[in-house]
Amino acid sequence: MPLTLPASAVVRVSRGDFDPARFAEVERMTRDTGAYLKPAIGSLPGLIGYFAGASRSGSMVHVSLWESDERARQMANLKEMIVDARGDAEKVGVSFIPIVNYPIAWSL
């Protein structure tokens, strides 16, 4: 059954790169940061879904689905994300590219 989304829904993509030799550290960090990120992010209004993972190829991603761009932009002020998780990621060698919010053209 197709997912019914508000016309204003956006996908937020945060991506980082790291040395593939550090995959085990990055994967552990990704799982560990979930302990404090999940409750903090889950309390934000407008969240539809959130996914995080790391690849052995040397990249990690956080992808979230929001009711609107305004709701997605709450992440830019979330201390647990912009200070705590970013610091933990940088400690294991992750460097980030700019975060982008994408308006949804279609869904399945």
Tens digit of pLDDT at every position of the chain (108 positions): 667 899 999 999 999 999 999 999 999 999 999 999 999 999 999 999 999 999 999 999 999 999 999 999 999 999 999 999 999 999 999 999 999 999 999 888
**For the chain, what is the domain count?**
1
* Full residue range of the structural domain in which residue 35 is found: 16-98
Q: How far apart are CA 101 and CA 9, in angstroms?
A: 10
In a domain, 79, yes or no: yes
List the one residue out of 16, 13, 14 whose CA is nearest residue 58.
16
Residue pair 104/11 in contact (Cβ under 8 Å)? The answer is: yes
CATH number for the domain spanning 53: value is 3.30.70
In a domain, 30, yes or no: yes
pTM of the predicted structure, to 2 decimals = 0.92
In a domain, 11, yes or no: no
Q: How far apart are CA 8 and CA 26, in angstroms?
A: 33
